[in-house]
Structure 1
Amino acid sequence: MNSEFTIAVHILVYLSYLPDHMASSKTIARNVSTNAARIRKIMSILRHNGYIKTKEGIGGGYILNCDPDEVTLAEIYLSVSIGTLKPNWCSGDPEQTCPLSSNIQHVMDGIFNETETYLCRYLEKITVSSVLKRLFS
């Protein structure tokens, strides 16, 4: 899993904590403890998927455009991190005659796909607002 998922959740929880308030990428970056360019990259994905709106210019920034009671972490994961559980490097070589080396990548791909399915099922039970509530309980 990549850090974009955690950052995206943090951003949406932060904006749901400040309903009806604009927040700049600099302000959000300070809260998330990362740089504003990285925030803008993730915000682009969140805006594309309708979770936030933007306003340019003086007094502009980002504002929540979704119901935090309805948006699940699974939706966010699917928006920013789908497929990231699988490592970029896989062992084995499909061209080998060894049954282990020629099949391990295929088997591990299946395991990672199943794992991602289970993860999404779990994340479907958690909403942005429930994460916010956990912070204050």
Structure 2
Amino acid sequence: MVKSKFSISLHIMTLLAYYPGEWHSSAKIAESLKINPVLVRKELKALKSSGLIDSKEGKNGGVKLEKSAKNISLADIFEAVKGSSHVLNLSSNVPDVSCKIGGQINQKLLSIFDEVDNAIIDILKPQTLEAFKNQF
């Protein structure tokens, strides 16, 4: 679910921004979050594929920010976590396509879902990870 993934990823990114240049293991990050390191690694994968973090393997490995926290917006983190899904989801049932409503409801809902996602991005875009980190 996007809403908890964003919280987890923003926590991770804030921790990395607070200690720039340091490598952090998923176990160390998981301690801060009080969650299983496997869940941390899932979010790290999305952040890495979006170019927000760098990683290295080995005893002294871990993850760190790929670029300065000043150059990372909260929208960048949200989009990395959100991927191609929407914040809101369609019902898992398949509507009756012969129904006037059922035949069009998903198309209409997807249009609204795009607007919701874009509104969130518009709110998060001017906020930097650096500014967020400085609140701690």
TM-score between the two structures when normalised by the length of structure 1 = 0.86
Residues 14, 129 of structure 2: 8 Å contact kept: yes
The answer to whether residue 53 in structure 2 is matched with residue 57 in structure 1 is no
Q: Which AA in structure 2 matches 1:123?
A: L
CA shift for structure 1 position 55: 2.2
Percent pairwise identity: 27
Q: Which runs of 5+ in 2 are unaligned?
A: none
Q: Paired residues, what number?
A: 134
Q: Which runs of 5+ in 1 are unaligned?
A: none
Q: Which AA in structure 1 matches 2:95?
A: D
CA shift for structure 1 position 94: 4.9
Give the Cα–Cα distance (whole angstroms) in 1 for the partners of residues 106 and 66 of structure 2. 41
Question: Runs (4+) of structure 1 moved beyond 4 Å?
Answer: none
Alignment root-mean-square deviation, CA: 1.9
TM-score between the two structures when normalised by the length of structure 2 = 0.86
**Paired residue for 1:93, among 92, 95, 98?**
95
Cα offsets for 1:77-125 (capped at 9, x unmatched) = 11121423121416772512x3223222222111111111111111101
1:115–1:39 Cα change, 3 Å: same
Give the Cα–Cα distance (whole angstroms) in 2 for the partners of residues 60 and 113 of structure 1. 38
Cα offsets for 1:25-84 (capped at 9, x unmatched) = 001011122110111121122222222222222222112221111111111111121423
